[in-house]
Amino acid sequence: MSGAASLAPRQALGRGTEEGPLSSAGILAGMLEAAAAGEGEARPVLSRRIREEGMDLRQAYSALSASEHDRFSRLVSPELLEEIFSLSQELDPSLFYQGLHALGLRLSRGSRPELAMLFFSGIAQTLEQDFPGRPADHAALSSRARRELDALMGRGAIAPRVEHLLRGVAREASHPVMLASMGVAGFAFSTVRMGMLSRLLASSSGGAFTRGFGARALASTVGFAAEVPAFVFSGRGLNEALGLRQDWSLGAVGRDLA
């Protein structure tokens, strides 16, 4: 969050500071650069072109070198970049911060919580300062952003934190790899359990674990022992097939199986 903390009031949407007219393009450029700073890069290439050459954000991005394009493309998808370009054209301060908040919410509900935290932190820290052109509803906008930031960071009121955790669980549970792994694991459990139960019931001995509840409990235990590794290894294999490199060391696999 050191990048987010660098969003000073001078980047706020408004006019009349010692650095001249400021715009939503400048704020968004600063946020993109702050995100890049988290990756070890901190050159203000976008902000400089907007401030010194009068470019809008799309023009400043188009003027980047190939290496700079690669750097930012690792941070934001083409679809997200188009949303940012569109938002950078908003001239109304209140509508701009509302749009930025909505974008942060979509990122937090997707797979980019680190960018969402950057956006919420930028909104809160900027609007908590007094500057020319600050929207009249700045207190409500700042409070909403701070509440979402606290939820993402695991602090603050319990309800937003629970909501964020439940969103994360739902996202993971609906992932195609997760669904496929659950299917493989369920098949392994039912197959092994049925096979074990059939063998126990066919046994000529009349022990506690070959009849009734004991037989079903033992068969379920053996089935569960097969279900866990089936889930872990099928998930790892599918992720590997999709190009997501997996750590196959004994320690990493052991933690997944535990």
| Beta carbons of 122 and 6 less than 8 angstroms apart | no
CA dihedral 233, 238, 243, 249 (to 10 degrees): 0
* Buried residues in 147-159 as b, exposed as e (16+ CB within 10 A): bbbbbbeeeeeee
Residues written for the chain: 258
166 and 181, same domain (yes or no): no
Pure H helices in 74-112: 78-87, 93-109
| Beta carbons of 185 and 227 less than 8 angstroms apart | yes
Please report, for residues 30, 41, 86, 220, the alpha-carbon distance to residue 27 in angstroms, rounded to integers and kept in the order given.
Answer: 5, 18, 13, 58
137 and 215, same domain (yes or no): no
Write down the pLDDT at residue 149. Answer: 85
Phi then psi for residue 116, to 5 deg, are -60, -45
161 and 183, same domain (yes or no): no
What is the DSSP-derived secondary structure letter of residue 17? Answer: B
Q: Mapping DSSP to helix (H, G, I), strand (E, B) and coil, where does residue 198 land?
A: helix
| Beta carbons of 119 and 104 less than 8 angstroms apart | yes
60 and 126, same domain (yes or no): yes
Write down the pLDDT at residue 157. Answer: 52
* Residue 211 structural domain: 175-257
In degrees, rounded to 5, the angle at the alpha carbon of residue 221 between the alpha carbons of residues 219 and 225 is 115
Where among 147, 171, 195 does a domain terminate? 171
208 and 116, same domain (yes or no): no
Half-sphere exposure of 201 (CA within 13 A, CB side): 11
Where among 123, 140, 171 does a domain terminate? 171
80 and 181, same domain (yes or no): no
113 and 180, same domain (yes or no): no
Q: Mapping DSSP to helix (H, G, I), strand (E, B) and coil, where does residue 190 land?
A: helix
The whole-model pTM stands at 0.54
Write down the pLDDT at residue 100. Answer: 93
| Beta carbons of 84 and 57 less than 8 angstroms apart | yes
pLDDT tens for the chain, 258 residues: list them. 444 434 433 344 443 333 333 578 888 988 888 888 765 555 788 988 898 888 999 999 999 888 888 888 888 888 989 999 999 999 898 999 999 999 998 888 777 788 888 888 888 888 888 878 888 999 999 999 888 888 887 665 544 444 544 455 444 545 576 667 778 888 888 898 888 888 877 776 766 667 777 878 888 888 888 888 888 888 888 777 777 777 778 887 787 776
Q: How far apart are CA 35 and CA 117, in angstroms?
A: 10
In degrees, rounded to 5, the angle at the alpha carbon of residue 120 between the alpha carbons of residues 114 and 123 is 140
142 and 228, same domain (yes or no): no
